[in-house]
């Protein structure tokens, strides 16, 4: 995959902005998933069963991906893109559920739909994150 100048690591070893944003967002979100899981439990589609294990697992996965991106692990870009893709499905579910809710909250509906296209640049940034060269 071709990288343009904005996507590749700087010669001085700095990570691209997109990767740094993902590291920050995943670190913050992962910690909150583990510290305040009740904030995320309602986002888990009921078809998956009890939400708490999924909430904890997704928080741990976010922290693992953030660590992998920060340390340029070869698995991290694809794992992060995969996690974002799974979250994307959950975001669709949340947007549809918010739209169909009896007591629909317009702000929640708008926010739910607005975040769906944001996954695309995040997935792109993940896939363009640099990795350490193999020895």
Specify if 107 maps to a domain: yes
Please report whether residue 131 resides in a domain.
no
CA proximity to 27, closest of 57, 76, 65? 65
In a domain, 8, yes or no: no
CB distance 118 to 91 below 8 Å: no
Domain that holds residue 110: 17-126
pLDDT tens for the 135 residues of the chain, in order: 444 444 444 456 899 999 999 999 999 999 999 999 998 898 888 899 999 999 999 999 999 999 999 999 999 999 999 999 998 988 898 899 889 988 888 998 999 999 999 999 999 999 999 999 877
Any domain includes 88: yes
């Amino acid at each position: 995959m071709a990288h343009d100048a904005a996507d590749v690591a700087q010669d001085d070893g700095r990570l691209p902005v997109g990767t740094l944003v993902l590291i920050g967002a995943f670190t913050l979100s992962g910690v909150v998933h583990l510290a305040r899981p009740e904030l995320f439990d309602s986002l888990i589609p009921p078809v998956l069963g009890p939400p708490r294990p999924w909430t904890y697992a997704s928080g741990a996965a976010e922290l693992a991906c953030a660590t992998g991106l920060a340390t340029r692990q070869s698995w991290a870009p694809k794992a992060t893109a995969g996690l974002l893709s799974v979250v994307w499905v959950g975001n669709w579910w949340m947007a549809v559920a918010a739209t169909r809710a009896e007591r629909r909250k317009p702000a929640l509906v708008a926010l739910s739909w607005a975040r769906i296209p944001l996954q695309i640049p995040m997935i792109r940034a993940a896939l363009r994150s640099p990795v350490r060269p193999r020895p």
